[in-house]
Amino acid sequence: EPEVTQTPSHQVTQMGQEVILRCVPISNHLYFYWYRQILGQKVEFLVSFYNNEISEKSEIFDDQFSVERPDGSNFTLKIRSTKLEDSAMYFCASSGTSGPLDEQFFGPGTRLTVL
């Protein structure tokens, strides 16, 4: 069964460093998302991506964040200069061809720890 994969599973970085979180969505999907979950808090929407551009972003998704689909398979989230409060589990999701209300399939997440 197709699935969304994410690498790495755990990333530790120093404050101020850049990190890139990688996701491989399901191959025929068209809509891509990033969410995050700070420990003990709810899952929060960060950004959605369709047709090679951002379709919606949250207030959290400031200039320190960027997304890219560099090739036909990967979908990346870059944090330019990490802060302590960026420590969270980051989930990638993708959905299919019928529209944005198609089921979103989530990856297992990348746990980011900023020291």
Q: Which residues bind other proteins (CB under 8 A)?
A: 4, 31, 33, 35, 41-45, 48, 55-56, 58, 91, 93, 95, 99-101, 103-109
Token readout for 77 is 């989230």
Nearest distance in Å: CB 15, other proteins: 26
Give whichever of 28 and 41 is closer to other proteins, judged by the CB atom.
Answer: 41
Give whichever of 75 and 91 is closer to other proteins, judged by the CB atom.
Answer: 91
What's phi and psi for 13, nearest 5 deg? -145, 160
Nearest distance in Å: CB 79, other proteins: 20
Nearest distance in Å: CB 93, other proteins: 8
